[in-house]
Copies of this chain bind each other. A is one copy, B any other.
Amino acid sequence: MKQEAETARGAPATLWDRTRRLASREILETALRLFTEQGYDETTIAQIAREAGVSQRTLFRYFGTKEDLLGGNQDRFGQVLTDTISELPAEVGVWEALRTGVAAVLALHDSREQALERFRLLHNTASLRAGWLEKQLRFQEDLLPLIEVRMDAATGSVGAKARAVIATAFACLDAASMTWVDNDGKGDIIDLYDECLAAVRG
């Protein structure tokens, strides 16, 4: 677990790291394949471990949760979101700031197809949606202070308003990505996002 100095780019120095990366990839690919083939709930950890050629115990050491096997580790989303927004100048309004953050997150996906695959899985599996929404809530908490300072504290509870605004942005993102999936990945999600937001804000 020692984050040894490995030459920033290129193959990692040690055999351990190389093996780790290989195993990680093998597990991830096996998992995604099985998930799309037979569904998330219908795929057991035992099966993934067997087909990836590792023990269950090792699999859980690489990925602490079954959800983590979806790849495109969603925890980074929160990071990128908060980083992007906190680097914005103070004059930028809440809505524009959130839009910028959302765009940055959407830009993280490798390929359109992989994104489509993941989103499809996400929107078709109840347990996954729930997990995703829970993560959203955590992002929401992280975003709260960054948004609060950008809002005019005119009347009432600033916290409530900020929460509502953030949650609305996420709601639009979800609605947009859901529609995107329904359209088999036609168009850009960010355009759908704008459309949704326009519908909400009249």
Residues of A participating in the B interface, judged by any CB pair closer than 8 Å: 126-127, 129-131, 133-134, 137, 151, 156-157, 159-165, 167-168, 170-172, 174-176, 178-179, 182-183, 192, 195-197, 199-202
Inter-chain pairs besides A164-B196, A170-B171, 6 sampled, C-beta below 8 Å:
A129-B133, A156-B195, A157-B195, A162-B199, A163-B174, A164-B197
Count identical subunits in the complex: 2
Specify which chain B residues have a CB less than 8 angstroms from the CB of A175 in the assembled complex: 160-161, 163-164, 167
> Closest approach, in angstroms, between the C-beta of A169 and any C-beta of chain B?
9
A162, A164, A176 interface centre (most CB from chain B within 10 Å): A164
Q: Among the listed B130, B170, B196, which residue makes an inter-chain contact with A131, where contact means beta carbons less than 8 Å apart?
A: B130
Q: Which of B133, B161, B167, B178 contacts A163 (CB 8 A)?
A: B178
